[in-house]
Structures are given as C-alpha cells and as structure tokens.
Structure 1
Amino acid sequence: MNKKFYQLTAEERLEALGLDESIKAFYACNQSKDSEQLIENYVTDYRLPEGILRNLQVDGQVYQVPMVTEEPSVIAAANNGASITNLGSAFITTQVGEPVLGGQILFDHVDYEELNRFVVDHVDDIFQAAKEAKPSMVSRGDGLEAVQLEDLTDHRAVLNLTVKTGKAMGANAMNTILEAVKMLFSSYEKNIVGAILTNAGHDAVVSVETKLPVAAVGGLEAAKKISALSTFGQVSPDRAVTENKGIFNGLAAVVLATGNDYRAVEAAGHAYASRDGKYRSLSKWMVDETAETLVGKIEMPLNIGVLGGAIAALPTAKKNLELLGNPTVEELKSVMLATGLANNLAALKAVSGRGIQAGHMKMQARTLAVQAGASGADIQTVANRLIKSPRIDQKTAEDILGAIENDTQN
C-alpha cells in the first residue's frame, strides 16, 4: 500500500519529489528532527539570521534583545534608535494590556432577541463548560472571564468569549473552550457558521513611550521634521503603510525570535491602525510645548506568550527568552513595542534628514558582495569598495571581487 505524501519521512519526501541530486543533498543536510514534528510535509529547515539589539532600556531594565530577520538594515536601525532614546527617558510602558484572548461563535439567519435570551438563561452553563474544557487554566487563575452576544446586520450575531490566558498566547486553549461551549447551542446547530478565536486583541492593547532631548536627534529643527513626518503617517494611509512596515521590521523580528506568532501580531496591529475607519501609523512623534523634548509613543494590541505553542518545540526560542532574562508576558510585550518604536525613530530620523538610502546601501553592500560570490574577509573588503563606487549593484560587486582575486593571484 502506497503511503500518502504527508505519511512519508522527510528523506522519503525528497525522493518522491524527484529532485536534482544537488538540491536534494542541500535540503537533506539542513533537516532536523525537532522541526520535522512541527509542520506538515516537512522537507528541510529554512534558516534566517539572528542578531542582537544591545542595551534596550525599558522601564528601568536593560535587555539584550534577539532579533530574527533577513533585511540588512533592521538590526542596525534598532540599535541606532535605542541608543538615541537612551539619551533621554529610554522606553516607558504607559499601558499594560491584559493577558486575554477573544473567541467567537458565529451565528447566521438567527433571531438576535431569541438567541440573547438563550445566552442569558445559560450563562452559568457556558462558564461551566469552559471550566471543564480547560480545568488547568482555572486552577492557575485563568480561564473564561466574559461572555457577550453581539448583534450584527442581516440576522447575524456573534457570541464573544474573553479568556484570560496567563503566560501562554492561548490559541489552542481558546479553540478548545469554544468547541465545548458550542455544544450547548445544539438547538442552533444549523445557524452556527463556525467557532474560532479572534486575533483582534481589543483587551490586550499596550502602550510604550519615550521622551528625549531634541539635541539627541540633531536639534529642534530636526525634531520638528521628525514630528512633521510622523503627522503624515496619521493623515496619509500610503505613508502609514510604510511607517508601520518599519515598525514591524523590529517588532516582528523579536516576535519571531521568541517563538510567537508574528502573523497574528501584525494582523492585529494593522486592524488597530484602521480602528477609526482610516489606516494610520501605530506611532506618533511630537515636539512638546517646551520645544526641548521630542516625545514618541506607540500603541497596539499584543497577544503573545512566554510558554506553550511553538515555543516549547523551538529550542532557540527558549534560549532567546533566557537571553532576555526570562521576562514576564507583560515585560516581553513592552520589549517588543519598544523595539518597534526604536526602528521607527531611526527610520523617521533618516528619512527626514539625509534620506534612507545612504544607510540602507551600506548594509545592502554586504549582501551584494555575498551575491557576487565573496566569502570570508573578502565580503567586507568588497562591501567597503562598493560603497565608495559610483554604482552600487551586483555587477560592480562582481568586478570588484574579480579585481581582488586577480591581485591575490599576482
């Protein structure tokens, strides 16, 4: 009996794909037993580089922050932004989101008033079902906290559940609770479209801010330009998209490094950026009334964890949390937001000043050197010469590398 593709071992899948021997050997040497258990149809590990944001100060504590990203300038920008904020207040948490997650049971073609009476009559049963579904959560003080029926248009309604998740992000626990609660609505079975968590994070909004002397960014005029550029992120959705992308450059790199779900975090962030019907930047920068201080603030929902989920299966994620000093969920949220705001500051300073391209190309030069075939010490040598050349592209990098190799041979 032939096995289905998902039933094969990783080695057997490579054989089944009929790959060129060189590709097959490359995939095979990058396989790991830990990763094989994480996803369907596993064939190999796709590796991304990890770097460190040094000495990020948040709420009086100093962190060495792991960041996983493929973009050359992200970690340099985070370090630049963080070092600037250290000249002022560094980063301060101004709002701590609750460690809660939302879930929904979705009803269609339903009479809201009738359904609402059912919910009111069975609210104790709903809490009991949730408790029995995840008794371990209740024993540590977590579990279902609130139930609310929401009336939507055209005979649609949503039963919203709010679950306190504690140290874990809680996705699997939430879905388990939803399935248990759904069983109570057997008389509405034909009306239930689905039961699933929501990543919106309405009750998990976190805020972090920083205050720094205008001298830290080059003086009052430079600070005013940063503030003016930030304002465009509030009034121009196209500008806001780019600004939020820069924020997530840093924020998502920490989310990924700690084994959390960066897709969920980004989706919640973008939804929050559109909460009033217009897409805006998640950050705001302004010069205060004294004209001596530049104030920056970032605010968005964060549903993350420090245990459970993929973290338990990713050894590097667990070590990265140790590197961070085994932070609480609340501390990690603040570190993530602070990193995003640090990247944001560095980008705004560059764009409103000398322009973003100069700094980007310094980092890109190393990537071009590698693409040209440079290795070892030659990578930096090619990059240094490339930065000084009139054109910064792969062809120029190849020419520079060729010249270096000729000099070595001669």
Structure 2
Amino acid sequence: MTKKFYELSPADRVKALSLSPVLEQRFLDQQNLYHQDLVENYLTDFSLPEGMVKDAVVDGQKYQVPLVTEEPSVIAAANNGMRLFRMKGGVKSGEPSHALLGGQIIFNQIKWDELSEFVENHRGEIEEQAQLAKPSLYARGGGIRSINLRKVPGNRASLDLTVETGLAMGANAVNTILEAVKTIFVPYAEQILAAILTNAGHDSVVTVRGQVPVDSLGGLDIAKKIVALSDFAKVDTDRAVTENKGIFNGLSAVVLALGNDWRAVEAAGHAYAARQGLYQSLSTWQLSADEKTLLGELSLPLNIGLVGGGLAGLQQAQDNFKLLGQPTVDEVKKVILAIGLSSNLAALKAITSQGIQAGHMRMQARTLAIQVGARPDEVQWVAERLVAAVRIDEQTAKEILGDLRNHEPKA
C-alpha cells in the first residue's frame, strides 16, 4: 500500500519532491531527526543567525541575552540601547509578574440571567473539574485563580477562567481545564461555540523602565525630539505600528531564541496597544524635571514558559536558557522587555539624529557582499567599500568584489 506523504520518513519526503540533486542534498544535510516529531510533514531545519546582547543589566543583575533574527541591524541596535541604559544602572522593573493565562468558554444566543445563575450555582464544581483535569498543575501550586462570566453583545457571553500556570506558558494546561469544565454545561451544549485559551494576557502585564543621560544621546534637542516622537505615536496609528515593530524586533528575537511562542507574544502586545480604542505605541518616553535624563517605560502582557511546549525537543532553546543564566519566569520576562525597550531607544535615537538609514545601510552592505558571493574573509572588506560608494546595490557590490579578486596575489 502506498504511504501518504505524512507517513513517509523525513528523507523519503524530501526525495518524493523531485528536487534538484543539489537542493535535495541540502535539505537532507540539514535534517535533525529529533525535530521530526515537533511538526507535521517535517522536511528539514531552517537556520537563522543567533547573536546576543552582552551584559544586559536588569534589576542589578547582569545577563547575556541570546537573540535569533534575520534582520541585520536588530542585535546591534539592542546592544546600543542597553549600553545607554547601563550608564544609569540598567533597566529596572516594577512589581513581580504573574504566570497567569486566560481561557474562555464562549456561548452564543443565551439568556443571561439563566446562565449567570447556573455559573454561580456550579462554581465549586468548576474548581473541582479543573483540579481533576490537571492535578499535577495544582500540586505545583497552580490552578484556577478567577472565574468570571462576561456579557458580550448580541446575546453572547464568555466564561473567563484565569489559570496560574507556573513554569509553563500553559496553553495545553488551560485548554485541558476548559474542556473538562465544559462538560458541566450540559444544558448549554448547543450554545457553546468553543472552549479555548486567550492570548490577551490581561493578568500578565509586565513593566520595565530605564534612564539615559541626555548628554549621551547627543544633547537636549535630540532628547526632546525622542519625547515628541514618542508622544506622536500615542495619537497616530501609522507611527505607532512602526514604533511597536521596532520594539518587537529585539523582544521577539529573544522569545524565539528561548523556544517560546513569539506570535502569541506579539498578538497580545498589539491588542494591549489598542486597549484604549486607538492603537498606540507600547512605550512612553519623557524628560526628567531637570531635563538631564531621558526616562523610558515599556508595558505589555507577556506569557513565557521555561518548560513544556516544544522546549523539550529544542536543544538550542535549552542551551540559550543556560546562556541566560537559568532565570526564573519573572526574571526572563523582564529581560525580554528590557531588550524591547533597548531596541526602541536605539531606533528613536537613530531616527531623531543621523537617521535610521545610516545604520541599516552598513548592515545591508554586509548582506549584499554575501549575496554576490564574497567569502567570509572578504565580506567586511567589500562591505566597508560598499558603504563608501555612491550607490549601495548588487551591481556595485559585484564590482568591488571583482576588483578585490583582480588584485589578489596569484598563487
């Protein structure tokens, strides 16, 4: 009997695609059989560069922070921003964060008073079912922390459960609890549309703050422009989208390096940015009363896991937690936000001073050098001359590389 595609081994899947011999071999060479059970129809591994922010200081503790990204300037910007924060003791946080994840049982076409009474009469049973569904979570001190029935327009309702998830991000635990709790609502089986976690993160908002000497930014004029640009992003969605993207450049690169769900983090962050009815920047910048210090703050929901999910099968993510110093859940959340705020600072400084393009072009020059075939020992030489050229494009990069090789000593 012919096997279906998903039943084939990873090697046989690649061979079934009739690729060119060179491409087929590349896919085969990059396979990691430990990863074949993490995703469906596994073919091969896709590699992204990993760099780091060295000596990130958060709450007085020094961290070596891994970042995984394909964008050339992200890691340089995050390091630059953190360097500025270190001048005032690094980034600091507020209250300890909470490992809380929400879930919803979603009802359609209900009678509010009847459903509300049903929930009140069954609160104890809801708690009991949750504990039976995830006894190990309760044994570790986790479990349901709140039960709330919420009206939704159009004769709809959401039963919102908040679950303390401990060291795990908690998606599977919350979904398991919701499925168990749903069985209580037999009279409303036809009205239940879904029982599913929410990534909104209302109960998991984290805040970090940093200070920078105005003189280190290039003077008071630059600092005032940063504040004005930050204020602009509070009232203009177009600017806010780009500013938040800059925050996630660094933040999401850390989340990815730690094997966590960067898509959930970004979705929660964007929803939080629109919580007042207008999409705004997630960060806020202002000057101190004496105008000698620039003050920055970043807040957003953050659900991160140290265990569970795909982490067990991602050795590099486990290694990166070790590189980071095996922080607690609370610590790792604040480190992640500190990198986001550092990235934001570096971008705002660049935009309001020499312009963002100067730094981007230096990084782009390296990428172009690689693109036209420069060897590792040639990339920096070609990139430096490309930055100094009138045009930074592929043709110019080819000409510079050709000139280098024409003048190489002959063997």
TM tier, smaller: over 0.9
Separation of aligned partners in 2, 1:191 and 1:181? 15
Identify unmatched segments of 5+ residues in structure 2.
none
- TM-score, normalising length from structure 1? 0.99
Separation of aligned partners in 1, 2:336 and 2:37? 28
Aligned to 1:402, the other structure's residue is in SS state helix
- Contact kept, 8 Å, 1:97 with 1:205, in 2: the verdict is yes
Instruction: Report what 1:83 is aligned to.
Output: 83
Instruction: Report what 1:373 is aligned to.
Output: 373
- Contact kept, 8 Å, 2:260 with 2:304, in 1: the verdict is yes
The answer to whether residue 114 in structure 2 is matched with residue 118 in structure 1 is: no
Task: Tell me by how many angstroms 1:89 deviates.
Answer: 3.3
Separation of aligned partners in 2, 1:221 and 1:401? 41
Instruction: Report what 1:306 is aligned to.
Output: 306
Task: Tell me by how many angstroms 1:178 deviates.
Answer: 0.5
**Structure 1 residues 7-48: Cα deviation after superposition (integer angstroms, max 9, x where no partner):** 111111112222222211111110001111100001010000
- Contact kept, 8 Å, 1:259 with 1:310, in 2: the verdict is yes
The answer to whether residue 11 in structure 2 is matched with residue 11 in structure 1 is: yes
Match of 1:142, as an amino acid?
A: G
Aligned to 2:201, the other structure's residue is in SS state coil
Instruction: Report what 2:383 is aligned to.
Output: 383
- Contact kept, 8 Å, 1:97 with 1:301, in 2: the verdict is no
Separation of aligned partners in 2, 1:58 and 1:130? 36
Instruction: Report what 1:273 is aligned to.
Output: 273
Match of 2:243, as an amino acid?
A: E
Match of 1:390, as an amino acid?
A: V
- Contact kept, 8 Å, 1:73 with 1:359, in 2: the verdict is yes
Task: Tell me by how many angstroms 1:212 deviates.
Answer: 2.2
- Contact kept, 8 Å, 2:82 with 2:342, in 1: the verdict is yes
The answer to whether residue 247 in structure 2 is matched with residue 251 in structure 1 is: no
Instruction: Report what 1:323 is aligned to.
Output: 323
- TM-score, normalising length from structure 2? 0.98
Which residues of 2 match residues 229-244 of structure 1 at below 5 A? 229-244=229-244
- Contact kept, 8 Å, 2:240 with 2:280, in 1: the verdict is yes
- Contact kept, 8 Å, 1:96 with 1:207, in 2: the verdict is no
The answer to whether residue 162 in structure 2 is matched with residue 162 in structure 1 is: yes
Separation of aligned partners in 1, 2:180 and 2:117? 20
Aligned to 1:375, the other structure's residue is in SS state coil
Aligned to 2:98, the other structure's residue is in SS state coil
Task: Tell me by how many angstroms 1:108 deviates.
Answer: 0.5
Aligned to 2:260, the other structure's residue is in SS state coil
Identify unmatched segments of 5+ residues in structure 1.
none
Aligned to 1:169, the other structure's residue is in SS state coil
Task: Tell me by how many angstroms 1:409 deviates.
Answer: 5.8
Aligned to 1:279, the other structure's residue is in SS state coil
- Contact kept, 8 Å, 1:206 with 1:302, in 2: the verdict is yes
Match of 2:293, as an amino acid?
A: T
- Contact kept, 8 Å, 1:97 with 1:203, in 2: the verdict is no
Identity of counterpart residues, as a percentage?
Answer: 54
Which residues of 2 match residues 209-220 of structure 1 at below 5 A? 209-220=209-220
Instruction: Report what 1:59 is aligned to.
Output: 59
Instruction: Report what 1:225 is aligned to.
Output: 225
RMSD, aligned α-carbons: 0.9
Separation of aligned partners in 2, 1:73 and 1:388? 18
Task: Tell me by how many angstroms 1:312 deviates.
Answer: 1.4
Separation of aligned partners in 1, 2:2 and 2:158? 45
**Structure 1 residues 244-267: Cα deviation after superposition (integer angstroms, max 9, x where no partner):** 000000000000000110000000
- Contact kept, 8 Å, 1:78 with 1:343, in 2: the verdict is yes
Task: Tell me by how many angstroms 1:97 deviates.
Answer: 2.8
The answer to whether residue 355 in structure 2 is matched with residue 355 in structure 1 is: yes
Task: Tell me by how many angstroms 1:220 deviates.
Answer: 1.5
Instruction: Report what 1:96 is aligned to.
Output: 96
Instruction: Report what 1:148 is aligned to.
Output: 148
> After alignment, is 168-177 or 302-311 more displaced?
302-311
Aligned to 2:183, the other structure's residue is in SS state helix
The answer to whether residue 307 in structure 2 is matched with residue 287 in structure 1 is: no
Task: Tell me by how many angstroms 1:109 deviates.
Answer: 1.0
The count of aligned residue pairs is 410
**Structure 1 residues 21-77: Cα deviation after superposition (integer angstroms, max 9, x where no partner):** 221111111000111110000101000000010110000000000000000100000
Separation of aligned partners in 2, 1:282 and 1:268? 11
Task: Tell me by how many angstroms 1:402 deviates.
Answer: 1.0
Match of 1:154, as an amino acid?
A: G
**Structure 1 residues 191-249: Cα deviation after superposition (integer angstroms, max 9, x where no partner):** 11011000000000000001222112122111111111111111111000000000000
Match of 1:273, as an amino acid?
A: A
- Contact kept, 8 Å, 2:60 with 2:89, in 1: the verdict is no
Separation of aligned partners in 2, 1:154 and 1:241? 31
Separation of aligned partners in 1, 2:44 and 2:379? 27
Instruction: Report what 2:137 is aligned to.
Output: 137
Instruction: Report what 2:42 is aligned to.
Output: 42
**Structure 1 residues 298-320: Cα deviation after superposition (integer angstroms, max 9, x where no partner):** 00000111111121110010110
Match of 1:112, as an amino acid?
A: W
Separation of aligned partners in 2, 1:74 and 1:11? 35
Separation of aligned partners in 2, 1:323 and 1:81? 21
Aligned to 1:206, the other structure's residue is in SS state strand
Separation of aligned partners in 2, 1:112 and 1:323? 52
Separation of aligned partners in 2, 1:294 and 1:173? 42
Separation of aligned partners in 2, 1:2 and 1:176? 36
Separation of aligned partners in 2, 1:42 and 1:409? 46
Match of 1:314, as an amino acid?
A: L
Stretches of 4+ aligned residues off by more than 6 angstroms: none
Match of 2:345, as an amino acid?
A: L
Separation of aligned partners in 2, 1:113 and 1:276? 29
Separation of aligned partners in 1, 2:215 and 2:309? 44
Instruction: Report what 2:392 is aligned to.
Output: 392
Separation of aligned partners in 2, 1:44 and 1:320? 21
- Contact kept, 8 Å, 2:211 with 2:296, in 1: the verdict is yes
Match of 1:220, as an amino acid?
A: L
